[in-house]
Amino acid sequence: MSGALAIEVAGEEVLLLPQKALYWPRERLLVVADIHFGKAAAFRSLGVPVPHGTTAENLAALDALVERHGARGIVFLGDFLHARAAHAPATQRALLAWRERHAGLSLLLVRGNHDRHAGDPAAQLRIALVDEPHLHGPFAFSHHPELAADGYVLAGHVHPTFLLASRFDALRLPCFLVGPRRMILPSFGAFTGGHPVTPEPGERVFVSSGEAIHSVR
Partner 1 sequence: MTTLAALDAWFAQRNWTVFSFQRAVWKAAREGQSGLLHANTGAGKTYAVWFAALLRGGERKPSGLRVLWLTPMRALAADTQRSLEQSAAALAPAWSIGARTGDTGSAERARQSRSLPNCLITTPESLSLLLSHAATREQSRHLDMVIVDEWHELMGSKRGVQVQLALARLRRWRPGLVVWGLSATMGNLRLAQDVLLGEGQGTLVEGDLSKQIVVDTLIPANVTRFPWGGHLGIEMLEPVIREIDQHASTLVFTNTRSQCELWYQNIIDARPDWAGLVALHHGSLDREVREWVEMGLKQGELKAVICTASLDLGVDFLPVERVLQVGSAKGIARLLQRAGRSGHAPGRVSRVTLVPTNSLELLEAAGARQAVASRRIEARQVPNKPFDVLVQHLVTVALGGGFRSEDLLDEVRSAWSYRLLTDEEWQWALDFVARGGQSLTVYPEYRRVLPDEEGVYRVPDAAIGRRHRMGIGTIVSDASIQVKYMSGGRIGSVEESFVARLKPGDRFLFGGRFLEFVRVHEMTAFVKRATRSSGAVTRWQGAKMPLSSELAHAALDQLQLAAQGVFEGPEMESLRPLVEIQQRWSALPTSDTLVVESMKSREGYHLFVYPFAGRSVHMGLASLFSYRIGRTQPITFSIAINDYGFELLAPEAVDWARVFAGATGAEVDLFDTATLLEDVLGSLNATQLSQQRFREVARIAGLVFSGYPGQPKSTRQLQASSSLFFEVFRKHDAANLLLTQAQREVLEQELELTRLRDTLAELHERKVAYREVRRATPFGFALMVERFREKVTTERLSDRVARMVRELEKAAAA
Residues forming contacts to partner 1 in the complex (CB under 8 A) are 39-54, 57, 82-83, 85, 88-90, 190-193
Nearer residue to partner 1 within complex by CB, 31 or 192: 192
Nearer residue to partner 1 within complex by CB, 114 or 134: 114
Mapping DSSP to helix (H, G, I), strand (E, B) and coil, where does residue 117 land?
Answer: helix
Nearer residue to partner 1 within complex by CB, 58 or 69: 58
Task: Tell me how crowded residue 104 is: count the other CB atoms within 10 A of its CB.
Answer: 6
Quote the least distance from Cβ 134 to partner 1, whole Å.
24
Residue of 205, 190, 215, 203 whose CA lies nearest to 40: 190
Distance between CA atoms of 108 and 130, rounded to whole angstroms?
8
Nearer residue to partner 1 within complex by CB, 40 or 183: 40
Q: Greatest CA separation found in the chain?
A: 53
- Per-residue HEC secondary structure of 35-94 comes to CCECHHHHHHHCCCCCCCCHHHHHHHHHHHHHHHHCCCEEEECCCCECCHHHHCHHHHHH
Quote the least distance from Cβ 122 to partner 1, whole Å.
16
Nearer residue to partner 1 within complex by CB, 70 or 89: 89
- Alpha-carbon dihedral sign for residues 11, 16, 21, 24: negative
Quote the least distance from Cβ 193 to partner 1, whole Å.
5
Quote the least distance from Cβ 118 to partner 1, whole Å.
9
Quote the least distance from Cβ 191 to partner 1, whole Å.
6
